[in-house]
Amino acid sequence: MRVAMLAPISWRVPPRHYGPWERVVSLLTEGLVERDVDVTLFATADSVTQARLDAICPRPLEEDPSLDPKVWESLHIANAFEKADRFDVIHNHYDFLPLTYTGLFATPVVTTVHGFSSDGIKPVYRRYADRVAYVSISDADRDPDLRYVATVYHGIDLAEFTLRERPGRGLVYFGRIHPDKGVADAIAVAKAAGVPLVIAGIVHDRRYFEREIAPHVDGDRVRYVGSLGPAERDELLGSALALLHLVEFAEPFGLSMIEAMACGTPVIARGRGAVREVVDEGLTGFVVDDVAGAIDAVGRIGALDRRAVRARVAERFSRDRMVDDYLRVYERIVSGARIA
């Protein structure tokens, strides 16, 4: 099978630090290549892959402000679709814009919906619903007006994460610094529980960071360490007592949760979006409703078996399972069976 993998170009594939969509694309691409699938990856020119790399954008848009996003995303998407007849299936990870090209060629297209940035983009998905096979990343993120061929949970390479059986004494927040992600609530929980907190991630909302986060960062009880690469991520997540994931929105999946759990570190998460699909209550963490519930969960989290946490991730969220699921999707689409 010949697969074209259309990646975003905000970050490199794989990302140097932040870039969850690009991380998933990389894991899937490399897993497919290891299964002897003929994959061409359309990504930035500095991307690293065992697949055939076809690049027109020289660098990630987020790393080079001199690159005009509209220009380079147009060139990037067109570069892939102008070669559509070379592939059995095209797998789009670039959100809604590539859908507008799909009436111009016959090659089937699979689109992984990595979440809807707003309801405003949904008319594009609806217009091309008969032309494109949609994959959701959680059942919670499915739009009732769309048909889906499958739900495929993200998977991770367990070799990138080290099981640490002894819990650390501190909590960790790992993700974008944005009001939607509940960073201020994580600080409130850590302070009330009397436990230190490390915050890691890119600053996505500077005003929020300066107003709600920075005043609490003292380098001791609350530390901010920026956006981390894979080795530092493994060390930080594995050395924590728990990951705080107190999201304020219906999150489509939450990659940081399974990354923490792969280190044996359980998760305390607010039950929004896909959280209940990812966290097994009382096994890999606790799902809470509010700050008070999270504070209570901190006192109970040490009783969870970190080996069991890791084992559950290996069972449900491995890269191999994700690759298997997408191969089944490709086979169905190529055979003409589109909707589950």
Mean residue pLDDT of the chain comes to 96
Residues 278 and 256: beta-carbon distance below 8 Å: no
- Same domain as 33, residue 19: yes
Distance CA(83)–CA(124), nearest Å, equals 23
Residues 13 and 93: beta-carbon distance below 8 Å: no
Look-up of token digits 């650390």: 168
> Which has the closest alpha carbon to 66: 74, 77, 58?
58
- Same domain as 216, residue 69: no
- Same domain as 331, residue 276: no
- Cα–Cα distances (Å) from 45 to 14, 49, 52, 135, in that order, read 12, 11, 11, 27
Residue 270 sits in a domain of what CATH number?
Answer: 3.40.50.2000
- Same domain as 241, residue 109: no
- Same domain as 299, residue 165: yes
- Same domain as 200, residue 112: no
pLDDT of residue 173 exceeding 60:
yes
Taking only the tens place, the pLDDT of each residue in 45-86 is 999 999 999 999 999 999 999 999 999 999 999 999 999 999
Cβ neighbours for 72, distance < 8 A, ≥ 6 positions apart: 9, 56, 57, 61
Residues 110 and 89: beta-carbon distance below 8 Å: yes
Distance CA(152)–CA(194), nearest Å, equals 38
Distance CA(268)–CA(294), nearest Å, equals 6
Instruction: Provide the pLDDT for residue 117.
Output: 87
Instruction: Provide the pLDDT for residue 313.
Output: 97
> Which has the closest alpha carbon to 277: 180, 154, 189, 156?
154
pLDDT of residue 338 exceeding 70:
no
Instruction: Provide the pLDDT for residue 38.
Output: 98
- Same domain as 140, residue 51: yes
Collect contacts of 274-282 with beta carbons under 8 A, ≥24 apart.
274/137, 274/138, 274/139, 274/140, 274/141, 274/250, 275/245, 275/247, 275/251, 276/140, 277/138, 277/139, 277/140, 277/153, 278/138, 278/153, 278/253, 278/254, 278/317, 280/312
302 falls within a domain: yes
Percent of the chain with pLDDT over 90: 96
Instruction: Provide the pLDDT for residue 340.
Output: 46
Q: Which residue has the higher pLDDT, 208 or 338?
A: 208
Number of domains observed in the structure of the chain: 2
Residues 147 and 212: beta-carbon distance below 8 Å: no
pTM: 0.94
Q: Average pLDDT in the 310-333 region?
A: 97
Taking only the tens place, the pLDDT of each residue in 105-160 is 999 999 999 999 889 999 999 999 999 999 999 999 999 999 999 999 999 999 99
- Same domain as 30, residue 174: no
Distance CA(24)–CA(261), nearest Å, equals 17
Taking only the tens place, the pLDDT of each residue in 32-41 is 999 999 999 9
Taking only the tens place, the pLDDT of each residue in 262-306 is 999 999 999 999 999 999 999 999 999 999 999 999 999 999 999
Distance CA(221)–CA(218), nearest Å, equals 6
- Same domain as 49, residue 150: yes
Instruction: Provide the pLDDT for residue 337.
Output: 63
193 falls within a domain: yes
Taking only the tens place, the pLDDT of each residue in 245-270 is 999 999 999 999 999 999 999 999 99
pLDDT of residue 90 exceeding 60:
yes
Q: Which domain holds residue 233?
A: 159-316
Instruction: Provide the pLDDT for residue 339.
Output: 52
- For residue 224, the surrounding DSSP H or E stretch is strand 222-224
Per-residue exposure over 27-55, b if at least 16 CB sit within 10 Å of its own CB, e if not: bbbbbbbeeebebbbbbbeebebebebbb
Q: Does 252 sit behind a cis peptide bond, omega within 30 degrees of 0 on the bond before it?
A: no
Distance CA(285)–CA(309), nearest Å, equals 8
Distance CA(130)–CA(146), nearest Å, equals 10
